[in-house]
Amino acid sequence: MGLGGAVARHGLEDELMRTTHLLRTRLWATVGLAGLAALLTAAPALAASTDDDTPRTDAGTSFRTATEIEQGHRATASASTGDYLYWSFPADAGQRPTVKATVKLPESAAHRPGTRWRVDVYDGLRRRQSCMYGMQSRPADAATVDLACTLRPVRAWSDTWSNDPLPGTYYIRLTATGLRTADLGAPVTAEVEANSKDIGGAAAVDGTLAKPLVPGASVDSDDPDDAADSGTRAALSTAEPEDGWASGWWTDRWIWTGAGGVLAALAGIGGYALTRGNGRAPSGA
């Protein structure tokens, strides 16, 4: 009986040691996955903080001449009431862009009844995108008019009949409506800025575009004597995200799916270790 009790006690100690080792391994794996997820989530913010914040001081007057700006950078322009002002910026899959505009009016142009300032955002196909929220249009009832428009999350792919925002170039158009002839030509100063919130896996879809919607035109030279210009490309927009176009293949769903699989496997191993017994035959008489 003494020998059987010692064997049973030894087997129980071995089982407790294996269980403790499995729990410790699972704990460290969980901590490591949580740290990796936090690092990957913080990486875009760290990259954005090192951007050069050099403002642009001009604006285009059409889609083709829109001034390119980077997200997080403020652009300013001096114009006249009645002008159409255009800027463009890149937006990638998983982002939810927000455009803010401020118009500063002289006293002669402020408090004009019927005059409204409006900001619109168009995608690379020149489809006007609706705003989820934000004051997109305001009356010119003060010396400063603040406008904002938050778009829906940019999707990596959508059906052809859908008007969903897609990766590519986005255009900002700022203008005044309801102007009288006497109001035209008044000097104004405009400021615009585009920022995005990373939505991540919440906006992920099963599909990707072959290329982002960046308007451009290929210009090929058929003249053999002009080899230097052969195959050149004249693009209407050249701006792209700092890290390039993601093409929708990577989202944080990969992290949480992998973490869930690892935790499920560890839970299965731990449950098996706790319920399988010590594997030793009972001692005989």
Q: Could you count the other beta carbons within 10 Å of the beta carbon of residue 55?
A: 11
Residue 206 vs residues 95, 145, 159: alpha-carbon distances, Å: 16, 41, 11
Residue 249: half-sphere exposure toward Cβ, Cα within 13 Å: 6
Instruction: Give which of 131, 124, 123 is closest to 150, Cα–Cα.
Output: 131
What pLDDT digit, counting tens, does each position of 33-63 carry?
555 554 444 433 333 333 455 667 889 999 9
Q: Contact 69/93 with Cβ under 8 angstroms?
A: no
The DSSP output letter for 167 is S
The per-residue b/e assignment along 138-175, b for 16 or more CB within 10 angstroms, e otherwise, is bebeeeebebbbbbbbbbbbeeeeeebbbbbbbbbbbb
Taking the domains of the chain in order of start, what are their residue ranges?
Answer: 67-218
Find, among 119, 117, 105, the residue nearest to 194 by Cα: 119
How far is residue 31 CA from its own chain's centroid?
Answer: 27
Backbone angles phi and psi of 140, in degrees to 5: -85, 70
The CA–CA distances, whole Å, from 5 to 8, 11, 41, 285 equal 5, 10, 54, 12
Class in CATH terms, 67-218 = mainly beta
Report the distance separating Cα 82 and Cα 254, nearest Å: 49
Which amino acid is located at 78 in the chain? Answer: S
Helices (H), the chain: 2-49, 253-275
Encode the chain (285 residues) as per-residue pLDDT tens digits: 454 555 455 555 666 566 655 556 555 555 555 555 544 444 333 333 334 556 678 899 999 999 999 999 999 999 998 999 999 999 998 899 999 999 998 877 677 778 899 999 999 999 999 999 999 999 988 889 999 999 999 988 888 888 899 999 999 999 999 888 888 888 999 999 999 998 876 666 777 788 888 987 434 334 444 444 444 444 567 778 877 787 555 666 777 778 888 888 888 888 888 887 665 555 554
**Each residue of 244-260: pLDDT tens digit?**
787 555 666 777 778 88
